[in-house]
Structure formats: C-alpha cells, structure tokens
Amino acid sequence: MASPRVLVLRSPGANCDEETAEAFRLAGGVAQPVHVNRLLESPDLLADYQVLCVPGGFSYGDDIAAGRVLGGQLRRRLADACQRFRDDGKLVLGICNGYQVLMSAGLLDLDSEGAEGSGERSATLAWSDRGRYDARWVTLHATPGECVFLRGIDTIEMPVAHAEGRFAIRDSAALDRLRNAGQLVLRYAEGDNPNGSADDVAGVCDRSGRVLGLMPHPERFIDATQHPCWTRSGLSGEGAGLAIFRNAVSFFD
C-alpha cells in the first residue's frame, strides 16, 4: 500500500504538532497537521487518512482539565467520524496532551464495568502527586500484546513533560480488568514513576490494540542526539522513539 496518510490534529495550544508530523514523515508516512476547526467544518475529511494523531501541548489552555475541551469536541461533535475511523481498522495515537484528549473523548475503552458507552470511565489522568509540571527522561517497559504501536519494544527511554499525567483508577477490580484485557501496555520502570501513576501505568491502549495513549513523548527521541547522555552512551543514528511511528506506518504495508 502507498504511504499511510497521517492527520496530526492541531488545536489552540497544541505545541508538538510539527515535531510529531516530522516523526511520522521520517517513519515513511505522509503527515499533515490539520486544525480541529477544519475537521469540525468537514468531519468527512478524516476518511482521507489512515492514522489520527493527537499531539502534545496545552489544547485550549488545559482549561477545566487537560484535554477536556478538545476531548469533548471529539466525543460530542466528531463522534460518528471517529467511530467510523476506528471501525475501518485505522490507527489512533495520543501523545501526552493527546492521551489526555483520547481519555476525555472515551476512545480508549476505559468505561466502567457494565457501563459501556455511558461515558462513565474507570480511569482518568489526574494531577501529579508532586503537584507540579515535571519534565525529565524516564525508562519504560512495554508489554505490547495486541498494541500495534509498541510491537517489538521491550524497554525504551523517552522524556515526559506534564502536570496532569497521573493514571488514576477507580479500584483494584477495574485495574485487574484492564490488565487482563491487555490494555496496560506501557509502564514506568520501578522507581522511575514521575507522577504517582497507579501500577506505574504510562500508556494504555484500547481493546483492539489500534488506539494508544501515552504520557511520554516518542517524537522527542527520533534522533540519538536528543538523548541527554548520547555522547557518554555512544548513541548515534535514530532515536528509539521512532520505532513507535515506524510501527504505525508499517501496519499498512
């Protein structure tokens, strides 16, 4: 198949759209930043793409809560287009603020037990238990299962940069349910949990494995020189984060 087309969703306050589009391009995709207002005018535009990516930043100024306003637009005004996109077997990626957006939009299959489709979620992304914005590199472990984006990845380093990224879950039964469904696909390494996330969860996928939300920023590690220890560690060439974009692109081979 020809290179997949990637819609990188812009919105007021998004600030990682160009870097994310560039990461998809380096991975072989045809990536275009598209403002959410264009999609609201013409929801059918989404059908022209194979990947929807919601990038990091501060959409709508993190007003109410991070990701809440843009997530509400996806849930209320673009629901049919998003549903068709998922039903067509396409891919959705949310990075940091994008993860917050996917969570708010209800695109990650995190509904409470017996409440499917009600919008009553068993999990959310809350303020860091440090009570502040933190930017640093972390080590992560992946258990990809069905998750397309994390195929072949075991341990990976990436930077995090957020305030509202603490994975909070209703209770241990809900956590077990997500774990058993194979949705808890990315975890902070022991002792490297930057925000107090339950069960060290750094990223979650939906039950199909084609929708992923993650707090760390893979687009900030597409070249070895972005790593803070690249000289001491002798790193060269591409950064490990590029694998996530390559996995998305090669899904359509």
Ligand X SMILES: NC(=O)CC[C@H](N)C(=O)O
Tell me which residues are annotated as active site: 96, 217, 219
| Closer of 36 and 81 to ligand X (Cβ) | 36
| Structural contact between residues 5 and 30, judged by C-beta atoms closer than 8 angstroms | yes
**Furthest-apart CA pair in the chain: how many Å?**
52
Residue 10 binds ligand X, judged by CB under 6 A: no
The three state secondary structure string of 158-175 is EEEEECCCEEEECCHHHH
CB 67 within 8 A of CB 103: yes
CA 158 to chain centre: 13
Pairing label, strands 155-162, 134-142: antiparallel
Q: Can you tell me which of 10, 90, 162, 246 binds ligand X, judged by CB under 6 A?
A: 162
Residue of 23, 52, 60, 164 that binds ligand X (CB under 6 A): 164
Q: Is position 106 an interface residue for ligand X (rule: CB under 6 A)?
A: no
Interface with ligand X, residue 200, by CB under 6 A: no
Q: Is 153 in the site for ligand X (CB under 6 A)?
A: no
Structure tokens, 53:
């990516």
Q: Of the two residues 4 and 165, which places its CB atom closer to ligand X in the complex? A: 165
CA distance 137 to 87: 35
Q: Which of 29, 35, 63, 67 is nearest to 49 (CA)?
A: 29
Select the residue interacting with ligand X from 69, 123, 158, 161 (CB under 6 A).
161
Binding status of residue 144 toward ligand X by CB under 6 A:
no
Answer for which of 26, 96, 222, 249 binds ligand X (CB under 6 A) is 96
CB of 127 to ligand X, least distance (A): 8
**Structure tokens, 24:** 């998809």
Q: Does 133 bind ligand X (CB under 6 A)?
A: yes
Determine if 62 is a binding residue for ligand X (CB under 6 A).
yes
Instruction: Based on the shown chain and the rule CB under 6 A, indicate whether residue 235 belongs to the binding site for ligand X.
Output: no
* Residue 197 near ligand X by CB under 6 A: no
Query: What's the token pair of residue 222?
Result: 């597409």
The answer to the question of residue 58 lying near ligand X (CB under 6 A) is: yes
Note the residues at the interface with ligand X (CB under 6 A).
56-58, 62, 66, 96-97, 133, 161-165
